[in-house]
Amino acid sequence: MIDTVGAKAAAREIAMIKVIAPRMAYKVLDRAIQLFGAAGLTSDWPLAGFLIWARSLQIADGPDVVHLESIAKREMKAHL
């Protein structure tokens, strides 16, 4: 979408992706750790490190709350 309409026009979708992608990564890793049980939290498997990485993605490019607020503002403007 950025390639076809530009970053400004795609800002809503970009904000949505910045919320959904890290949340999904965290959810997948959390499920993987559940499958491995306590072993998933040890250094025997890289899952714990991946989980920390996935969690940090939720704040690395701005906290989810900021992106959600941006989405809400754009939606409200679109419907007024």
CATH class of the region 2-78: mainly alpha
CA–CA dist 3, 55 (Å, integer): 29
**Measured between alpha carbons, how far is 51 from 45 in angstroms, rounded to an integer?**
11
Q: Could you tell me the CA-to-CA distances from 16 to 6, 13, 42, 79 in Å, in that order?
A: 16, 5, 33, 18
Q: List the chain domain ranges.
A: 2-78
pLDDT tens series, the chain, 80 aa = 999 999 999 988 999 999 999 999 999 999 999 999 999 999 999 999 999 999 998 888 888 888 899 899 988 988 88
* Single-letter residue type at 30: D
Tokens representing residue 17 in the block = 């992706």
Question: What is the number of alpha carbons within 13 Å of residue 60 lying toward its C-beta?
Answer: 11
pTM of the model: 0.78
